[in-house]
Amino acid sequence: MSDQNLFPVPQDWAQNSRITADRYDALYAQALKEPEQFWLEQAKRLDWYRAPTKAGNASFDKENFGIKWFEDGQLNASVNQFHLLAHKPLQQIRYFGNHIWQLQDLRPQRLLAGKSQ
């Protein structure tokens, strides 16, 4: 990549980022050195019914091509989606039931606070 394709990161973006350049470099080095352990550690950020013990299984053979990630784990996708929505303040789910008077505000933030039934 040439220097003409590099764009500086605005200072306010850098200050509000979730990771520093040094931390990124350390994670990248770890992923290259110990990919299995690295990705199993990253998988802990998700909720699983059954946590994986294998990070990746890849074959680039022409007759047996395939890539499987966390193949022995069972992901709890609905819980992961709920937690994602709970951190986005404008997300809202409306449940109407069979009658208009059954309207419920099911914003994830309200559910987490115990304010919806």
Give per-residue pLDDT as tens, 21-74: 899 999 999 999 999 999 999 999 888 889 999 999 989 999 999 999 999 999
Residue 68 tokens read as 């499987």
List, in sequence order, every beta strand (DSSP E) within the chain: 48-50, 56-59, 66-69, 74-75, 94-95, 104-105
Residue 15 tokens read as 């200050």
Rounded Cα gap, residues 117 and 103, in angstroms: 11
Q: For 9-29, write each residue's pLDDT tens digit.
A: 899 988 888 888 899 999 999
**Crossing angle of helices 21-33 and 35-43, rounded to 10°:** 120
Q: Is the pLDDT of residue 5 over 90?
A: no
| Domain ranges for the chain | 8-75, 77-117
Global pTM value = 0.60
Burial profile 36-68: b = 16 or more Cβ within 10 angstroms, e = fewer: eebbbeebeebeeeeebeebeeeeeeeeeeeee
